[in-house]
Structure 1
Amino acid sequence: MEKNITCFIACGEETKPSDMIEGLPECRVLKIPCSDDTETYRFIAAESHTPYVLVCRAKQYIRLGSRALERMTDYLSAPSCGMVYADRYEETGEGMRPHPVIDYQEGSVRDDFDFGSLVMYRTEALRQAVAEISVEDDYAYSASYAIRLALSRRYALTHIREYLYTEAETDTRRSGEKQFDYVDPRNRSVQIEREAAFTRYLKKTGAYLPPATHRIDPNEGSFPCEASVIIPVRNRVRTIDDAIRSVLEQQTTFDYNLIIVDNHSTDGTTEAIRRYAGNAKVVHLIPERTDLGIGGCWDLAVRDARCGRFAVQLDSDDLYSGPDTLQLIIDKFHNERCAMVIGSYRMTNFDLETLPPGVIDHREWTDRNGHNNALRINGLGAPRAFFTPLLRETGIPNVSYGEDYALGLAFSRQYRIGRIYEVIYLCRRWEGNSDAALSIEKVNRNNAYKDSLRTLELARRRALAAKEQDRPGTRFLKHQLAHWELARTNHEALEYIQTRCIRPGDNVIWVQFNPARAVSTCAKTDPASIAARPCFLCLENKPAEQESLRIELDETFDLRINPYPILPGHLTISSERHQPQTLAGKTGRQLPGKLVEWINRHFAPGYALFYNGAKCGASAPDHFHFQAARMQDIPLILQWDRLMETATLTAETTLTNGNKCRSYRIEGYLCPVQAFITENTPVSDTALVEAYLRSLPLHPDEDEPRYNLFAWEDPKRGFTVAYIPRALHRPSCYTAQGGAQRLISPGALDMAGLLVTPRREDFENLTEEEIRQIYNEVSL
């Protein structure tokens, strides 16, 4: 048996492997660093010449149990098994105690799953998993996480329900103190890396979803009040009065009530609630059933006829942080038309003194990927609030742990989740908390339940993603990539493309290293060069493999996949007629809106249209065309909520159909932006737009002012067209000499916060100061 195993032990330079494991049989033993990086696992895969690999990552002394390694190899002898782990004993100050772990299921995708310090792999399976990690991944903290995700796609990760080793207890904190480790700011770089690994796993398993496009109607239905605060409670006589007063002190512009579901309290809580019987805002419910958990109490409350349009959570031992909490939450629903709102809270003791880790704001959430990353982490934040019609439709699990997490996963599958990052809630930690000091058995039950929620949610998301794959646009893109090698190669490269995030002030700028874009970045656009080459946008000159969809509006266009993409699903929409790249005079400025409407109705939802003027990034200034990409990938659009908070309204008109068109000057971006937003219709007021364009300088021998344009359907505000006025085609650094040169030729996407660099030296060395200079030079 010993000849079948290679053992790798993580330990320091001065430590001997024999000092780490007692009872290790005579087998090949190699030391590895304590770090969890890609290079370490590549070394393990390369140095394993036996059928099985034992990896020990203990930070303390381990004693192997009787026949421990034999039992591991017994289970690994099954061809379907790729990795095994086992229960263990822990030596504590009070003696030795069992530490069981739980079975791995499909939903066990969180990165803090407890495998223990010893795991054994089938060598063949481990090598396959390591080979899946590309050079671009190069994990510093997450190699073992990425490997087990890869393993789980092909093999079973088997839990051996035997106590095979003993280790010393090193983390003596109570369960309530450990549960927030993943939101510790010191672990931020680890979390970013693991989110990337998990997102790739979702894409490979068909469970990845793009950002939700569904929005609620915040005025839907008839309700007795706008909001209901819901408090399920059982035996909280010490805290219930504080919670009730916290609600009644709320100052709002709308009517609200408080629904307390008193789950058969026996300690005086019921009598404390009855003291508020004379307050019209307080509804006191005592369930007929005696088998309800917290979720069941919530379900009872939201189905009560007195429940408001929005249902807002408050635990019976917590408080709202101020009298404006409820107003902030309901305003968020109306402003963003989201289905669920999650706030931020401060951890306190019973006397409301701050406890570590202090503020829990879950800033790991992003509009672009928060709904996917939610499956990897164990919580989403508090307080939580829901759109009541959708909550009634979804239903709430009758449990007392994880019901809120189940709802967050379900809602985020198709609906936008609103986030409030300022503290609006005080979360008390005291001896009466239900999760303050849980036994290992209770922690395991809780974790197994949340894993089961993830298993269910992964199945539902795969079904939803499969449905999305049947859209006309998805079918078109898949067919093109299957039959056009150049486009397929360049689009697949986007999966592993390198990006850097630079934050000039409040702005987010992504720098992309994309060598394939050298074709566009270095394109010669002078008249002689244009005349000397065939127009690559004319249908007669397109590659034989390139297909197109015909769009018949006031003009006829052909929609095609861009073979040199900057973003996934990058499209080109070109006029069938060869004519100069100018939007001036085209159907009263309504063409962008009509194209956006066609693409989102007949191709795929969630796309934004963009336009490069002839001297503003267009590599084909001789042929009229637009491009399109998904809204979720465009930094300017992702930052639009923040930018609109400080925007200045410059004009407002009423269209013939009664809808309002408003013009805004965007103040908070790196360059000037003028936006035109119209309610409920994909058109803008022509006179309003023309007046703005006439205010821009017109260069000699040019038919229109220089600008880039974006057009999209903003689900919160209406159809939006954003103009970015331009002064120059390229910045001075483009033609600079030596190390000062930056091969950057800004088009619309660059101006929208995605700077494309085809050279590695530019990607690696571009500074915030240079970015500001580029935007300053090329914008008006």
Structure 2
Amino acid sequence: MSDIQFSFVFPIPSKTVYTTDKLEKMFFSVLNQNTPPQHIFLLDGSPDNLLGDRLFHLAETKNIFCEIVPAQSQFLSAFAFTLSKIQTKHFIFTDNEKSPVYFNKSASDLYRWVCLRNPQTGLFYSDYDRISPDGSRVEVHLLPFHKSRVRDNMDFGNVFVIDTAMAREVGGFSSIFPRGYLYDFRLKIATDHDFLLISNRFQGVPYSVEDLGKAHNVFDYLLSGKDVQLEMEQIITDHLKRIQAYLPPGNCRHEITYSPEEEKQFEECIASVIIPVNNRPQFIGTAIESVLQQTVEQVEVIVVINGGEDDPTIDVVKTYQRGGEKFNPDLAPVRLLVHDINNIGLCLNSGLKTARGKFYVQLDSDDRLKPDAVEKLLQVFKSDPHIGMVIGSYEVWQLEEDGKFFRREDIPVVTHDEWTEENGRNNLLRINGAGAPRSAHIKVLAEMGWFSVNDIPYSRNYGEDYEMVLKISERYRIGRVWQPIYEVVRHSGGTDHSIDRQTIDRNDNAKDEMRREAILRRQTLNSKKIS
């Protein structure tokens, strides 16, 4: 063990959200390691290096060699210089820009053992504790790495133990990506090297992070700037090219054709709106009525209930059928299917098998279509026979417990404009969604093998639509409606309301498995093209 030493790379941010006292506390946690670091590099972004000088003198009192690297305006250049100076096989990098990070005294001892046992690993990361504002601690258990975890929001924690030679091999932190340098760096390392997660059972974390008190928000990505999104897109695009999973523009674009006999079948019904639902009698009526108000008359509503014969939603749906008080023979027919297995893929596929329309239109039971939604979707389909799916844009509405219902003005119209004609299907592997509503040729859905039915690892009524978009985009164009044609309704009973960490991890696992399969498919497509 005597030959395993570490250099600590300790950034001093130019602007921090915490006090100088906390910065010193962080630095003391480095100095007070049971096995002191061989070398500390202070990447000092503070004005006039005042904080760097202060910490430098603290290191002197411990007889630990410390070097100040000015980083006021060029952090990435300072890191590149530091990487060239590191003499240890591994270095420890602390991402402390937004949150204080405190090491336990035995952290370096633990890191030495994992490096000794895993000499070929490029990067180590670990579970950690989150310190809440009230001082309590919450254990944060991270997901183990695999090479298909290519999304940009993957949580690797705030401390990384990195093989120095491998970091130099990939060029360190790229100055081309001032905001996404860590994302780019980990994808480059992951191309040829493994990562390793150090797990915690109980009180087994090497460091803690002070919580900023921000809850999980499924719309966080909307608030990041366009320049950040473009930077992240370039990073994933470069990575997919490295691993031969990139699909160039126009590649694998097939035409969708129908015989005259098939087209005649769709004269009375062109679109089937399928609504899977479980125990939501309070919402289903509004969803159905949003379909009945469509400007296109040749539509049908298929409600697929998966709560069994006792589901109270059934009674509400029947009021819109023949003999019901809300039935109107001049409006779209409302059909009803009932299952006693809560499986969204089963609902969708059952509805599709009985659908009379040419196109499937998605509608969640607590959401609403705008009156011209189907009309706008059909216009895009008619514009190009190579379009297999059309995805719209949506507004976010809020339903409060007291019945107040209002548009969320703090959330812009969700257009997913990170999707471009040239690169959308590649960029989709980086993010967790493509937009709503989704509409597709029913024959294309059949060609893709229908929606998954919780038969993908970790998938529990989640991600079946994401997988379908991935598949269709590999063979057909994806059309877009950029105007809002859908209303997502957030409420206390929604599946995206107050999501706990366990659910977030399970959902991320599911979509990462879908990414794994998508990357393999795309690599196969490219190998066939080469051969």
Q: TM-score band (shorter)?
A: 0.7 to 0.9
In the other structure, the counterpart of 2:53 is none
**Matches of 2:146 and 2:229, distance apart in 1:** 22
Q: Find the aligned partners of 1:267 and 1:352 in 2 and give their Cα distance.
A: 28
Deviation at 1:132, TM superposition (A): 9.4
The alpha-carbon deviation at position 319 of structure 1 amounts to 0.7
Task: Report what 2:418 is aligned to.
Answer: 364
The reply to whether residue 268 of structure 1 matches residue 309 of structure 2 is: no
Q: How does 1:376-391 map to 2 (within 5 A)?
A: 376-391=430-445
Contact 2:129 2:140 in 1 (8 A): yes
Amino acid at match of 2:364: D
| Matching of residue 101 in structure 1 with residue 142 in structure 2 | yes
1:236 to 280, 298, 316: 280
Task: State yes or no: 1:20 paired with 2:21.
Answer: no
**Deviation at residue 37 of structure 1 after TM alignment:** 6.2
Instruction: Determine the C-alpha separation between the residues in 1 that align with 2:279 and 2:115.
Output: 49
- The 5-angstrom pairing of residues 325-364 of structure 1 reads 325-337=373-385, 338-350=387-399, 351-364=405-418
Deviation string, structure 1 residues 140-168 (Cα, Å, up to 9, x no partner): 21221111111001111111112322222
Matched residue, 1:536:
none
Does the CA-based 8 Å contact 1:8-1:31 persist in structure 2? Answer: yes
How many residue pairs end up in the alignment? 458
Q: Mark the CA change 1:85 to 1:458 in structure 2 (over 3 Å): closer, same or farther.
A: same
Correspondences of 1:11-50 after superposition (within 5 Å): 11-12=12-13, 15=20, 18-21=24-27, 23-24=29-30, 25=33, 26-27=36-37, 28-32=39-43, 38-50=76-88
TM-superposed deviation, 1:38: 4.2
Residue of structure 2 aligned with 1:215, choices 246, 252, 255: 255
Alignment partners' CA distance in 2, 1:281 and 1:310 = 16
Q: CA RMSD in A?
A: 2.3
Given that residues 392 and 481 in structure 2 are in contact (C-alpha distance below 8 angstroms), is that contact kept between their aligned partners in structure 1?
yes
Query: Gaps (5+ residues) in structure 1?
Result: 471-780
2:172 matched to 1:124? Answer: no
Larger mean CA deviation between 440-449 and 208-217 belongs to: 208-217
Q: Which residue matches 1:734?
A: none
Query: How far apart are residue 460 of structure 1 and its match?
Result: 0.4
Spell out, residue by residue over 1:358-411, the C-alpha distance to the aligned partner (whole angstroms, 9 max, x if none).
Answer: 211011111111111111111111111111011012121124111111111111
Which residue pairs with 1:64 in the alignment? Answer: 103
- Matched with 1:79 is 119
* Distance in structure 1 (CA, Å) of the matches to 2:306 and 2:74: 47
Shift of 1:115: 0.5
Deviation at 1:15, TM superposition (A): 4.7
Equivalent in the alignment of 2:270: 226
Residues of 1 paired with 2:368 and 2:259: CA distance?
A: 28
Deviation, structure 1 residue 355: 4.3
Any idea what the Cα deviations from partners look like across 1:656-680, whole Å, max 9, x if unmatched?
xxxxxxxxxxxxxxxxxxxxxxxxx
Task: Write the letter of the residue equivalent to 2:424.
Answer: G
CA distance in 2, matches of 1:169, 1:219: 61
> Can you list the C-alpha shifts for 1:543-584, whole angstroms capped at 9, x where unaligned?
xxxxxxxxxxxxxxxxxxxxxxxxxxxxxxxxxxxxxxxxxx
Structure 2: distance between partners of 1:268 and 1:71: 56
Instruction: Give the deviation of 1:315 after TM superposition.
Output: 0.6
**Partner Cα distance (1:41, 1:216) in 2:** 52
2:481 pairs with 1:448? no
Cα–Cα, structure 1 residues 390 and 21, in superposed 2: closer, same or farther, change >3 Å? Answer: farther
Q: Cα gap change, 1:90/1:267 in structure 2, threshold over 3 Å: closer, same or farther?
A: farther
How many percent identity over aligned positions?
29
Deviation at 1:465? 0.8
Contact 2:170 2:189 in 1 (8 A): yes
Deviation at 1:183, TM superposition (A): 2.7
Change (3 A) 1:341 1:219: farther
What's 2:65 paired with? none
Q: How does 1:38-437 map to 2 (within 5 A)?
A: 38-58=76-96, 59-65=98-104, 67-77=106-116, 78-93=118-133, 95-130=136-171, 138-162=176-200, 163-173=205-215, 175=216, 178-184=217-223, 186-212=224-250, 213-217=253-257, 221=262, 223=265, 225-252=269-296, 255-264=298-307, 268-278=312-322, 279=327, 281-287=333-339, 290=341, 292-304=342-354, 306-321=355-370, 323-337=371-385, 338-350=387-399, 351-394=405-448, 395-399=450-454, 400-437=461-498
**Structure 1: distance between partners of 2:434 and 2:522:** 18
**Contact kept? 1:37, 1:143, Cα under 8 Å:** no
Distance in 1 between the 2:82 and 2:258 partners? 55
Change (3 A) 1:207 1:426: same
Cα separation, 1, equivalents of 2:288 and 2:155: 39
TM superposition shift of 1:413: 0.9
Deviation, structure 1 residue 229: 0.4
Higher RCO structure (Cα 8 Å, ≥6 apart):
2
For each residue in 1:268-317, what CA deviation from the matched residue of structure 2 results, as whole angstroms up to 9, or x when unmatched? 21211111121561110002x52x4222211221122x341110001111
- 1:16-69 CA-to-partner distances (Å, cap 9, x unmatched) read 854325532232222236799643442342132111111111233333236323
Q: Decide whether the 8 Å contact of 2:76 with 2:173 is kept in 1.
A: no
For 2:409 and 2:255, how far apart are their aligned partners in 1? 37
Structure 1 residues 435 and 180: CA distance shift in structure 2, 3 A: same
Judged with a 3 Å threshold, the aligned counterparts in structure 2 of structure 1 residues 132 and 18 are, in CA distance, closer, same or farther, namely closer
Cα distance in 1 for partners of 2:347, 2:506 equals 21
Flag structure 2 segments of 5+ consecutive residues without an equivalent. 46-72, 400-404, 455-460
Asked if 1 retains the 8 angstrom alpha-carbon contact of 2:395 and 2:487, the reply is yes
Post-superposition CA distance 1:205-227 (Å, at most 9, x none): 11111124223226783645211
State which structure, 1 or 2, has the greater radius of gyration over its C-alpha atoms: 1
Q: How far apart are residue 341 of structure 1 and its match?
A: 0.5
Letter paired with 1:313: Q
The one-letter amino acid paired with 2:349 is D
CA distance in 1, matches of 2:519, 2:352: 27
**103-112 vs 123-132, which moves further:** 123-132
Alpha carbons 1:7, 1:53 under 8 Å: kept:
yes
CA shift in 2, pair 1:37/1:388, >3 Å: farther
Q: Which residue of 2 aligns with 1:579?
A: none
Aligned runs of 1:729-748 on 2, under 5 Å? none
Instruction: For residue 428 of structure 1, report the CA deviation from its aligned partner.
Output: 1.0
* 1:464 corresponds to which of 518, 521, 525: 525
In the superposition, relative to structure 1, how do residues 74 and 308 fare at CA in structure 2: closer, same or farther (>3 Å)? farther
Conserved 8 A contact 1:62-1:165: yes
Shift of 1:87: 0.9
SS of match in other structure, 1:443: helix
Q: 1:274 to 1:191 in 2, by over 3 A?
A: same
Shift, 1:457, TM fit: 0.5
- Tell me, in whole angstroms, the C-alpha distance in 2 between the residues paired with 1:72 and 1:414: 46
SS of corresponding position for 1:214:
coil
| Partner Cα separation in structure 1 for residue 109 and residue 243 of structure 2 | 33
